[in-house]
Amino acid sequence: MHTIVRGPCAYEAVYREMQAYTAARDSQTPDALWLCEHDPVYTQGLAGRSEHLLVPAAIPVIATDRGGQITFHGPGQVVAYPLLDLKRAGYYVKEYVYRVEEAVIRTLRHWNVTGHRVAGAPGIYVRLDDPSGHARLPPSDGAAAPSFAGLGKIAALGVKVSRHCAYHGVALNVAMDLSHFDAINPCGYAGLRTVDLSTIGVAVSWDEAAAALGQRLVSGLQP
């Protein structure tokens, strides 16, 4: 997998490039990983509902073909786009999502932060009162909706698979203006708090975070 650090770039242009790259690829096309930092933008998934945008947006809202609801991208966030041939890699979408989430968890561990999965809610979460604690989250006990009590979302995930090839990806919050999340129900969940590494006391640059996440995605997505 070839890693390209694109740095600051407009979301919509990268989105269209991902679509074109995926549509044109064949069995010999190499996999790639693009690491980006976007201008402020809200992106809406295929299942997105307008009521999850709580106030009129002063920044663009772009409809996309990924799964999921609405989220925010902006400066201080590492957005990683693995452009991956899943058939060649030898695993299905469920395992792909697991591997991407695991790469985020291992990245956070580098800074002594414990990332958690929440059943039914893709992405990675941290305990707000103890980001470094290793205690497991309580079981869901078959609850109808995910419980985010005491948690903040630090990484959002959304993917699209076309002809066995994945695009879109994962966004890790590093040091952002988190107020933009107040205008939405993040990923469709009312009251879900969004955090970044800076909020929980980890001072790290975008470049350092991009390098750490990129390395773990490349190793974790190997066939």
Element (H, E) at 54: none
* Burial label, 166 (beta-carbon count in 10 A; 0-12, 13-18, 19+): buried
Q: How far apart are CA 203 and CA 123, in angstroms?
A: 22
Element (H, E) at 213: helix 206-220
By DSSP bridging, strand 193-194 and strand 151-162 are: parallel
Q: How far apart are CA 33 and CA 184, in angstroms?
A: 28
Of 9, 36, 165, 187, the catalytic one is 187
Q: Which residues share a beta bridge with 166?
A: 84, 161
Q: Tell me if residue 187 is catalytic.
A: yes
Kindly list the catalytic residues.
187
